[in-house]
Every structure is written in structure tokens, then in C-alpha cells.
Amino acid sequence: MNPLGMFTSVRGRASALLMLACLGCRSQERSADEAPAATLTLDAFPVVVDGRAIPVVASWEASSGQRKAVVEPRNATVEPPELARIYNGKELRCARHGKGVVRIRVGDQVASAPLNCLLAPSLGQARSNRPLRLVLGSAPEPSGIHAVRSGGMVDDGVAVSVTSDAPEVLAVDGDLLVPRKLGRARITGTAEGPLEKTWTFEVVKRIGFWQVRKPFQPISVELEPGRYELTFESATEEVLTVKWTSLPQCDYSSKASSHVVNCPADRRTRMIAYPPRKERAVVDYLELLELPP
């Protein structure tokens, strides 16, 4: 073979390989140009406990970790939409209690971050009487457990679930408490937040309820061993005297508008209450309850 022809052939093959290599370089350069120079990010939101404005901070983050603020027009949304309002894509205000997600779009890039609007930071209980009691045999009653906003305002928009640790004593039907038998139960309310609080309820048995009226005869009741509580309410201060047979430590006599007499009876006894004698309209009452052991 002609040495010159062989050289020409080798040089041609080398040129072709070099051209292919250059095409590969250009292809890589083109892919690098088409790849985004930075990634859109959205800063995490703090837990929001009031209606103040919270900035929506979006940034471009380079592969080196360097960041710069987004200055381009952005579109920001919240899911669910009723959770918060966004203004100009740059700040938001929580509208109700709950959790959701904020999404921001710039060009063809999207970033998101969770949002926790904890507008009701605690749970409360509506019943004013303490201890918390339900009477055995009475109709189911609302639990009274609700979410409370800062400042003490009740937030009826927050769903609260209610459970009982002793449904055989005090069952739960939705938000209703259903007394089943004498005893105690821990009733727990939970809501999104997370919020959780527990109250102890008593199921008591009503032994008797009497209005104080003429001829003001003593009220006498035979009782088995147990814990008992007698209450007397009056619009004025009155003297109430109570005797417990074979239990002198439970005997009581005092003058007040509100009386509470407790007796832990470790044996059978007879309670005798001597209501005050008054010459006016009947507005007073006596109530005797058996309490849980």
C-alpha cells in the first residue's frame, strides 16, 4: 500500500473521531444550558398562633448552596384554600385553625412547605360546676369540650373528638356523654394541632331531691354503706341540721346559704335532715347523692 494513502486514511479516521468528540462536548454543553441554574425553595413557616402576617420567603438555591431571593413574579396558593389568605404572593394570614400546605410557582418550578395555623392553642371545658358530674339515669349531655383561642374565646370551627377511658361507666356518643353506672371516667378531648386535654368526670346516683316546704317535716332516708353528699341551696342564710345514725362524725349543723355535707358511711345508717322553717315562697331544695367509692 502507498504510505501516503495510509497516512491520509489514518488522518481521516482521527478527524472523524475528533468531530464526534466535539459533537459530544456540544451536546453536554447544551444539556447543561437546558438544566435549571438553581432550584426554587420555600422557607419553612413557624407555627402561627394568631392572625398576624407571615412572610412567604422564596429563594433560588444553586447547587453550591448559595441562595438569592426570588424577585420574579410568583403565584402562591394554600391547600385547603380556606385555611389562610395570601397577599401578592409575599405574605399570608391564617384564617382558621388547622394544617395545610403552601405552594409557590415561579416559571415552571414549584416549591411547597407545610403550614400549621394553631389559632386555638388549647382546649377548654364549658361546665362551670366542679367536680364534673353526671347523674345516673339522666339523659346524655354534651361534653362541653371545645377549642379555645388566645384570649379565651371559644373557637367553634375546630372539630374536637371525645373519648372515654371507662365506657362502661361513662360512654361517648359523638360529643354526648352517656352515664352507665356509678364510677369515674377520664374524658379526653383531641383536636388538630395537636391538642389534647383530659378531665375526670363522676357518675353519681341521685338518692333524693326535695323542695323545702311547709310543714317542714324532717327528711329521713335509710342508706347502705357508701359515700354520700347532701346539698342545700337557699337564697338566704339558713340553719341546716343533719344527723347520721351510728355515724356521729358525719353530724352537721351550720348557718349558710349553701350547704354541702359529706359522709363516708362504712356501715348502714339513716340520714335525718332538719330543713329550716321559713314563712316565704318555696325556693330552696335538698339533694342527696351517692358518690363513687
100-157 per-position pLDDT tens digit? 999 999 999 999 999 999 999 999 998 766 789 999 999 999 999 999 998 888 998 8
Q: Is the peptide bond before 80 cis (omega within 30 degrees of 0)?
A: yes
Query: Is 15 inside a domain boundary?
Result: no
Distance CA 219, CA 274 (A): 7
Domain that holds residue 193: 122-204
Of the residues 95, 117, 139, which one is the last residue of a structural domain? Answer: 117
DSSP string, 105-125: EETTEEEEEEEEE-SS-EEEE
Cell numbers found for residue 148:
379555645
Whether 200 is covered by a domain: the verdict is yes
Report the domain count for the chain.
3
Q: Kindly state whether residue 148 falls inside one of the protein's structural domains.
A: yes
* Interval 25-53: pLDDT, tens: 444 443 444 445 799 999 999 998 888 89
User: Cell for 232?
Assistant: 342545700
- The reply to whether 78 falls in a domain is yes
Q: Are residues 264 and 286 in the same domain?
A: yes
Domain identity same for 126 and 200? yes
Rounded to two decimals, the pTM is 0.73
* CATH number of the CATH domain containing 132: 2.60.40.1080
